Chains A and B, each alone.
Chain A
Amino acid sequence: MNDQYEPVLVGFLCNWCSYRAADLAGTARIKYAPNLRPIRVMCSGRVDPEFVLQALRSGADGVLIAGCHPGECHYVNGNIKALRRFSLLKNTLDQWGIEPERVQLLWASASEGTVLAAAVDRMTEEVRALGPLRWSEKVLGEKAAVQAAVEEV
């Protein structure tokens, strides 16, 4: 690999639409950024905002939540609930100074392998341009604390 910074993205993909979209992208041999690491959930409405925060805390540079298009949710309207939680979460992230590109919500139906692949490519570039998240320094302002701790040791 060259020296280019490779962001790590975590994807929460719903079982019925976007996980299958990613399956389809693979089956159709669409090549896209290998930076997204997908986690399957039954519905985008299952994505607890805590999952997103935990991903960022654990070293992810960005999180993609993907679900069925509005009106096409396998569970009637779970994606709308995901949208509501996402909007609230965005406010919080914004107050912490986390750039909006780092946490994104996408609608991709099971037939939209190209849509999902293009979104991953786009998001990878956007997060690459932002650089690593560095949660503890950037968000919690702990850099000084870490240094102090290191010096003490």
Chain B
Amino acid sequence: MSEQKKSPAEQEKIGVYVCHCGSNIAGTIDVQEVAEWIEGNPNVVVSRNYEFMCSSTGQELIENDIKEKGLTRIVVASCSPHMHEKTFREATERGGLNPFLYEMANIREHGSWATNDKQAATIKAKALVNAAVERVVHHAPLEKIPVEINPKTLIVGGGIAGITAALELAEAGHHVYLVEREGTIGGHMAQIDKTFPTLDCSACILTPKMVDVGQNDNITLLSYSEVESVDGYIGNFNITVRKKARCVIDELCTSCGICEEKCPIKVVDEDYGAGITYRKAIYRSFPQAVPGFPVLDKENCTYFQTGKCKVCEKVCPTEAIDYEQEDEWIKFDVGNIILATGYDLFDARKIPQYGYGRLANVFSSLEFERMVNASGPTGGHIVLRDGETEPEKIAIVHCVGSRDQNYNEYCSKVCCMYSLKFAHLVHEHLPGAEVYNYYIDMRTPGKGYEEFYHRLLNEGTHFIRGRVAEITDADRQPGEEGKLIVQAENTLLGLQQRNAVDMVILSAGMEARHDADEVSKLFKMGCDYDGFFNERHPKLAPVATMTDGVFIAGTCQGPKDIPETVAQGGAAASQVAKLINQGTVMMEPVRASIREDECSGCRICNNLCPYNAIEFDEEKEVSRVITALCQGCGTCVAACPSGVIDGAHFTNTQVLAELEGILWDVQSDVTAKQEVL
């Protein structure tokens, strides 16, 4: 690539097209003046202004001018390159020019829309157009880089989003590695009793899918495993997964469950059981777990703590217990990655005035979910913490940790609906009980959701509009003794009310996973302000990320219910399937290259590269860019003390020419002085 300035003899023939965008640009910027003014540039042969450059007639203008007037460079002054760069590159190509001999001036988003000052906007537009003209002279024809797509896919997270995506891809004939941190797939959905608004049994609709995952030959299920490292780029990711030692040999275990039955140690199940049930030291979270192999919890196992016991080993009929088992590191390559890592439930202990963890009969939503489940500790009976008393009055508090400036400002989207479901389940299980739902706004957008709300209104649930201020056991009035008093303003009546109830359920919201930030760095994509993974576009690319080949699905992207989560799992799978079917993708040729004969071998660039894409040739004592690994950030270009690294399409010459061009009006002053000197 030439770093020399073009001599006047090598003049380019540039066509400039200034777009009106209806009145979006022309309403603020004098497009005609800009177009006429730029015609004065010695390299500009044609300069037009047109109402809609992105229309087919607008694009034909470019194509025809290239053919008829022999243009060698194209500049379009219109919207952001993120909007229409592709459109005009293609038009340039159709006209017969290399698409990279085109440059865009963003006079809409950065120009007409950003100010009302017409004169200033026109000056800025001239600067941007002139910068593009000065820059495009130095453009070089480039070819996109073809990258082959490995048809295998990594899916991280075995909740309903990951399960859906895995099955969609596997059934389409593509191999999937499904990595799950826990001993079994299923995720939060496996903990839920019923799903709103249809009241389907959650396990009944989920477990067949889990079984499908376990039986599908196209799915390699790595449970009790975590992704340790991710290298590479779209089409060619190198993955390392740590398969944690579960002390059970997969190949020998028949999932008979005898070890679990005979294990003498009982442990509170904090994960699946929400802290209200017990499990053994060797356990499966639930009987339908997939895979069915148990996990040995070393911290609570008597053998690991005292060196004695080994009951599980003695009772195992297939000798599948292996106390010496060690963590295993598995390496494999994939072409695409789907992250479906789910959410954390808001910890209601963070709101001390609600008394969770301090007042016995304040329950978290997950605790209630487990309690009301037929497979839960009480067999589905709703009872107080004493394990026997049936509550007569129950308060359900919405928006716990959501829509609250002190915790999370966003709406968690599912809590209104699951609170309604709780109210319904109480009516069903305890027909005489009174239920009070404290809500801020009732949010029921979804198919059949509003109807479900009306059903609850008819079932006799009391709806009180107001945020609960406090839940206390300090009785002040007769009848409050031994009860929980819910203090809230009923904003529809404008009254402060005390309500003595037996049980309170806190409907906690969804939060980003506590380690979402680390995970996002591992996969080189970003998190938003609330910690959820950032999508490429909030409307048009909700499951893609800024990193090519990395997709997101489900609640790791933001709070959502099961239907939406499933839809995103399917959407992510179809995005991946599209890439697999394409076989190759064309990558932007924005890559660095080193002029080896001029390289001094100082190695400054070697350690700067975040992708280890620069290798050092010991023999020749020069550095070299591995093009396949380079992502084109250009930090090595900026750092090279000899200036011998070229960042294609962002060369020093191009950027400096753009800079000179953008300062056209203040430049004259400087050059005048230089001439005098």
Interfacial chain A residues near B665, Cβ < 8 Å: 8
A123 to B138, CA, bound (A): 31
Per-residue CB contact flags for chain B residues 656-677 toward chain A (1 = under 8 Å, else 0) read 1011101101110110010011
If A34-B121, A39-B131, A59-B670 touch, whether A26 touches B114 (CB-CB below 8 Å) is yes
Q: Is the CB of B120 within 8 A of A6?
A: yes
Q: Is the CB of B109 within 8 A of A26?
A: yes
Per-residue CB contact flags for chain A residues 125-153 toward chain B (1 = under 8 Å, else 0) read 00000000001100000100110011001
Count of A-B residue pairs with CB < 8 Å: 160
Write the nearest CB–CB distance from B614 to chain A, whole angstroms. 14
A54 to B663, CA, bound (A): 11
> Is the C-beta of A16 less than 8 angstroms from some C-beta in chain B?
yes
Q: Is the CB of A23 within 8 A of B659?
A: no
Write the nearest CB–CB distance from B557 to chain A, whole angstroms. 14
Interfacial chain A residues near B141, Cβ < 8 Å: none
> Is the C-beta of B52 less than 8 angstroms from some C-beta in chain A?
no
> Is the C-beta of B364 less than 8 angstroms from some C-beta in chain A?
no
Interfacial chain B residues near A19, Cβ < 8 Å: 80, 82
> Is the C-beta of A60 less than 8 angstroms from some C-beta in chain B?
yes
A66-83 contacts to B, CB under 8 A, are: 68, 71-72, 74-78, 81
Q: Is the CB of A54 within 8 A of B656?
A: yes
Interfacial chain A residues near B207, Cβ < 8 Å: none
A150 to B675, CA, bound (A): 10
Contact residue among B80, B117, B673 (Cβ-Cβ distance under 8 Å from A23)? B80
If A1-B119, A55-B659, A60-B663 touch, whether A135 touches B110 (CB-CB below 8 Å) is no
Interfacial chain B residues near A48, Cβ < 8 Å: 637-638, 652
Name B's interface SS. helix
> Is the C-beta of B249 less than 8 angstroms from some C-beta in chain A?
no
Q: Is the CB of B673 within 8 A of A136?
A: yes
Contact residue among A35, A47, A58, A75 (Cβ-Cβ distance under 8 Å from B670)? A58
If A22-B109, A37-B662 touch, whether A146 touches B634 (CB-CB below 8 Å) is no
B518-534 contacts to A, CB under 8 A, are: 521, 524, 526-529, 534
> Is the C-beta of A25 less than 8 angstroms from some C-beta in chain B?
yes
Contact residue among B114, B116, B610 (Cβ-Cβ distance under 8 Å from A25)? B114
A21 to B115, CA, bound (A): 16
Interface centre among B120, B529, B676 (most CB of A within 10 A): B676
Q: Which residue of B lies closest to A14 (CB)?
A: B633
Q: Is the CB of A34 within 8 A of B635?
A: no
Q: Is the CB of B546 within 8 A of A16?
A: yes
A10 to B647, CA, bound (A): 21
Q: Which residue of B lies closest to A50 (CB)?
A: B652
Per-residue CB contact flags for chain B residues 518-557 toward chain A (1 = under 8 Å, else 0) read 0001001011110000100000000000110000000000
> Is the C-beta of B113 less than 8 angstroms from some C-beta in chain A?
yes
Q: Is the CB of A42 within 8 A of B659?
A: no
Write the nearest CB–CB distance from A132 to chain B, whole angstroms. 9
> Is the C-beta of A43 less than 8 angstroms from some C-beta in chain B?
yes
> Is the C-beta of A102 less than 8 angstroms from some C-beta in chain B?
no
Interfacial chain A residues near B662, Cβ < 8 Å: 10, 37, 39
Contact residue among B108, B528, B590 (Cβ-Cβ distance under 8 Å from A111)? B528
A21-70 contacts to B, CB under 8 A, are: 22-23, 25-27, 29-35, 37-43, 45-51, 54-55, 57-60, 68
A27 to B109, CA, bound (A): 6
> Is the C-beta of B106 less than 8 angstroms from some C-beta in chain A?
yes
Contact residue among B80, B526, B608 (Cβ-Cβ distance under 8 Å from A81)? B608
Q: Is the CB of B637 within 8 A of A34?
A: no
Per-residue CB contact flags for chain B residues 589-633 toward chain A (1 = under 8 Å, else 0) read 010000000000000000010110000000000000000000111
Interface centre among B113, B119, B638, B658 (most CB of A within 10 A): B638
Q: Which residue of A lies closest to B672 (CB)?
A: A146
If A20-B82, A23-B80 touch, whether A37 touches B631 (CB-CB below 8 Å) is no
Interfacial chain B residues near A37, Cβ < 8 Å: 124, 127-128, 131, 662-663
If A48-B638, A59-B670, A146-B673 touch, whether A76 touches B113 (CB-CB below 8 Å) is no
Interfacial chain A residues near B669, Cβ < 8 Å: 59
Query: Top 5 closest A-B pairs, CB basis?
Result: A26-B109, A59-B666, A46-B634, A45-B635, A75-B633
If A41-B655, A49-B638, A51-B659 are given as contacts, then 17 extra A-B residue pairs at C-beta distance below 8 Å, sorted by A number, are A1-B117, A16-B546, A19-B82, A22-B114, A27-B113, A31-B114, A31-B115, A31-B116, A37-B124, A37-B662, A48-B638, A48-B652, A74-B524, A74-B547, A76-B524, A111-B528, A150-B676
**Can you name 29 A-B pairs with beta carbons within 8 Å?**
A1-B120, A10-B663, A22-B110, A23-B82, A26-B80, A26-B110, A30-B114, A34-B111, A37-B128, A38-B106, A39-B131, A39-B659, A42-B647, A42-B650, A45-B633, A45-B638, A54-B656, A59-B663, A60-B663, A71-B517, A75-B610, A76-B521, A76-B524, A76-B610, A78-B610, A110-B534, A136-B673, A146-B676, A149-B676
Which A residues contact B (CB, under 8 angstroms)? 1, 6, 8, 10, 16, 19-20, 22-23, 25-27, 29-35, 37-43, 45-51, 54-55, 57-60, 68, 71-72, 74-78, 81, 85, 109-111, 117, 135-136, 142, 145-146, 149-150, 153
